[in-house]
Amino acid sequence: MASNTLTVRELIAAQGERIKRVKRLDRFAVFFITLGGIGIVASVLGILLFILAEAWPLFRSSQGTATGTVAMVTPDGHVVRPLVLGTDEYQLYAYDVTPEAEVHFFRLEGGKLALTVPFPGLAGAGVTAASRSLTGDFLAAGTADGRVAMAQVRFRPQYDDAQQLKDLEIEVRDRGLIAIDPAGRPVRQLGYSDDGGRKSVAALLADDEIALWHRSEDETEALHTLRTRDGEKITTLDLARPDALAVGTEKGNVYHWEIEPELRLTDVVSVGSSPVTAIEWLLGGTTFLAGNQAGEVSGWFRVRLRDDDADRTLVNAHRFENQGAPVTAITAATRDRSFATLGADGSVVLHHGTSERTLLRLPDAAAGGELLLITPKNDGLLVSQPGGVLARYAISNPHPEITWKSLFGKVWYEGYAAPEYVWQSTGATDDFETKFSLVPLMFGTIKGTLYALLFAIPIAVGGALYTSQFMHPSIRGRIKPTVEIMAALPSVVIGFVAGLWLAPMVERHIVGVILMMVVLPLSGTAGILVWNRLPQALSRRLKPGMELFVLVPMMALGALGALEAGPWVEATVFPPDFKLWLSENLALTYDQRNSLVVGLAMGFAVIPIIFTISEDAFSAVPSSLSAASLALGASRWQTATRVVLPTASPGVFSAVMIGFGRAVGETMIVLMATGNTPVLDWSIFNGMRTLSANIAVEIPEAPYGGTLYRVLFLAGALLFAMTFVVNTIAEVIRQRLRERYRAI
């Protein structure tokens, strides 16, 4: 008896040790699982913080720092009074044109006069007005006897043996001399534009008179006289390109002349009630800026307001923050649409022409100054001050085109009849106006997801309900793994097939495909009716699940009939061609790679996820509920739709939301199966561009740290936010559905 008692004690002790080991292992498992969960959450948050950190610099304010002054004084003590300013892209030299018909080059570091060059063709003449082009360093100098000389400053970098920049070779090239006024009157103001073989010179000779000289590409020269209406006094002028001239007057009007293909006055517009004091064309020569004595600054360009307009109209597309003092000068940047304005009180304000963003304000930069210049790399400002002093400022302005409005609001871009949402990040030339609206991309993401779910949800949920409630278990055991294998198909393969095979096939049989969407449900319903009408003697011999041998042939016949009837329906209802009928009657364009193709392809990719989770949710409904419903006299269909479906609704909703997340984040299918056109149009017959596809398309074009680079990170943050918000809402709804059907 004692021996048996000892054995029991030993067994209990041994079991106690084993239980302790199991508990220790359980604690270790809980620790590692918790640590893994925390690690996953931390990783996701880390990725989000990294994305936000890369996007945040888009919204930093610009910085301006005074870096010193340059005394523009010749060795003999003569204070230089510059008529125009210029500098090289390395900011080694600043140059000017003086009334003595000389071009001076000063070292920006130290202020030493490095070179003096007589203005070509004007030896001994006095210069009364001068002009410098926005790009190309083209100079023009007008004289007191009605002549205009043209020149170009050229800088050639000089490198040492270590390929480090040591200096610049400077050359002033002669570009010609013209007699702009046969009467020999002094030139008061001057505008000059040189574009290869084309040249234009506009010279103010009297209060209301401008002499315009133009040489076309075929070297034909012409001299014209331009006048304002009713002797209106001209206050300022500027040439954009050799084919456009803008002139401001004391009454607050701007006259716009088109020079090519023929000279004509196209518009006279009022920019305010006070005199126009400064005009400058932005990069590209399409938009001009007008500043007036009231400190108002506005941007104007010509556009066709309607497609059927015979001519363009000059429109006030942009209004900028008031200078706070009369605007005395405007200078434009050479790399983007930034520009700076100089006020009579010495204030300098830096703006961006497209976003209308006020980037920087320097309140006391040049009291009494007349000239300012944005350096070629947009990294500095030069401002003339009284007494021959040139003030220098270092500018940090990396993303001037970005504001909340330019990202999510309507902006009036050049060439557009009204403000619009547009994404177009790159162009073929440096004067391209970047467009970074994320609205078309967000719209495209929602549009593509919607069409995919419209295709996938009925098939996936309906198939899952049929599989779990009506299909024979032996067949179900084969169908479900087969559908799950579909999820393993790479999206790039689906996109490849959709783009190269499905899209052309749908285009050839578009009417048949549309008919198929109607015929397939009807033929499936007809198959069910045929199955239910089979003689009882025959139906008893058939095994459960054999209804597929009726449904599948009926649906196949329906699809084939729809495709065969498509050409006849197209010729009868949509003559002569469906795509032409769309264009003429509904003003819709049919693109081969469109939303219909994306919906079919992406829906195919989403179906396995929704099907699998929904089928599990339906199968998890207790069989006692189905049995009770059937026992009370309900049919199998009533039981499935009124008992099983509501009970499993939390799981079905989760399946749909997971499918939504899969569709929102899909990249390759959308990239390959649609035209990637960022348009705001719900039409199923044209394409779209989604946030994820846009990131994939644009990332090779995005230089590190540039505006496009950071906007793509912002797009990634938006994609993250969209899925997070949708999943959060889905979880709240799922919990409420679970609470509602908990008692069943």
Residue 410: band (very low, low, confident or very high) from pLDDT cuts 50, 70, 90: very high
Most confident among 282-291, 304-313, 385-394 (mean pLDDT): 282-291
Mean pLDDT of 578-602: 88
Mean pLDDT of 720-730: 83
Residue-by-residue DSSP string for 109-178: TT--EEEEEEPTT-TTPPEEEEEE-SSS-EEEEEETTSEEEEEEEEEEEEE-TTS-EEEEEEEEEEEEEE
Tell me what pLDDT residue 1 has: 46
Instruction: For the chain, give the percent of residues with pLDDT over 90.
Output: 46
Tens-place pLDDT, residues 491-539: 889 999 998 999 999 998 888 888 988 888 888 888 878 877 777 777 6
Nearest by Cα to 720 from 449, 439, 442: 442
Tell me what pLDDT residue 428 has: 63
Q: Residue 681 has which token pair? A: 């149009």
Read off φ and ψ for residue 272, nearest 5 degrees. 160, 175
Tell me what pLDDT residue 681 has: 87
Residue 119: band (very low, low, confident or very high) from pLDDT cuts 50, 70, 90: very high
Q: In the predicted model, is pLDDT for residue 133 greater than 80?
A: yes
Tens-place pLDDT, residues 207-239: 999 999 999 888 889 999 999 998 899 999 999
Largest separation between any pair of C-alpha atoms in the chain: 141
> Which CATH superfamily, name and number, covers 63-418?
YVTN repeat-like/Quinoprotein amine dehydrogenase (2.130.10.10)
What does DSSP say about strands 276-281 and 372-374: parallel, antiparallel, or unpaired?
Answer: unpaired
Q: In the predicted model, is pLDDT for residue 562 greater than 60?
A: yes
Q: Residue 11 has which token pair? A: 């067994």
Q: Three-state DSSP class for 466?
A: helix
Residue 5: band (very low, low, confident or very high) from pLDDT cuts 50, 70, 90: low
Nearest by Cα to 338 from 380, 307, 301, 369: 380
Tens-place pLDDT, residues 236-289: 999 988 889 999 999 999 999 999 888 999 999 999 899 999 999 999 899 999
Nearest by Cα to 59 from 403, 409, 405: 403
Most confident among 48-57, 464-473, 544-553 (mean pLDDT): 48-57
Pairwise CA distance, residues 495 & 709, whole Å:
26
Whole-number average pLDDT of the chain:
88
Q: In the predicted model, is pLDDT for residue 467 greater than 90?
A: no
Tell me what pLDDT residue 545 has: 64
Pairwise CA distance, residues 283 & 401, whole Å:
14
Pairwise CA distance, residues 351 & 400, whole Å:
8
Mean pLDDT of 724-732: 81
Please state, as a whole number, how many other Cβ atoms lie within 10 Å of the Cβ of residue 158: 10
Mean pLDDT of 156-181: 91
Which residues have CB under 8 Å from 102's CB, separation 6+? Answer: 116, 117, 118, 119
Residue-by-residue DSSP string for 324-382: SS-EEEEEE-SSSSEEEEEETTS-EEEEETTT--EEEEETTS-TT---EEE-TTSSEEE
To which H or E segment does residue 210 belong?
Answer: strand 209-215
Q: In the predicted model, is pLDDT for residue 715 greater than 80?
A: yes
* Long-range contact pairs involving 585-590 (C-beta distance under 8 Å, separation at least 24): 588/683, 588/685, 588/686, 589/683, 589/685, 589/686, 590/507, 590/510, 590/685, 590/686
Predicted TM-score (pTM) of the model is: 0.86
Q: Name 87's bridge partners.
A: 94
Tens-place pLDDT, residues 636-673: 888 888 888 888 888 888 889 888 888 888 888 988 88
The dihedral region occupied by 230, where left means phi > 0, alpha psi between -120 and 50, and beta the remainder, is left
Q: Are 259 and 215 in contact (CB under 8 A)?
A: no
More confident residue, 582 or 245: 245
Tell me what pLDDT residue 741 has: 64
Residue 744: band (very low, low, confident or very high) from pLDDT cuts 50, 70, 90: low
Q: Name 103's bridge partners.
A: 97, 117
- Tell me the helices (H) and strands (E) count for the chain, helix number first: 18, 30
Q: Residue 84 has which token pair? A: 């125009």
**152 exposure class (CB count in 10 Å sphere: 0-12, 13-18, 19+):** middle
Same fold, 63-418 and 439-740: no
Pick the CATH number of 439-740 from 1.10.10.10, 3.90.79.10, 3.40.50.970, 1.10.3720.10: 1.10.3720.10
Rounded to whole angstroms, what are the CA distances from 667 to 51, 122, 453, 494, 498?
18, 64, 16, 11, 13
Residue 489: band (very low, low, confident or very high) from pLDDT cuts 50, 70, 90: confident
Pairwise CA distance, residues 250 & 237, whole Å:
12
Could you identify the residue written with the tokens 């009849």? 417
Tens-place pLDDT, residues 87-114: 999 999 999 999 999 999 999 988 889 9
Question: Domain map of the chain by residue range?
Answer: 63-418, 439-740
Q: Three-state DSSP class for 656?
A: helix
Mean pLDDT of 611-622: 88
Q: Three-state DSSP class for 288?
A: strand
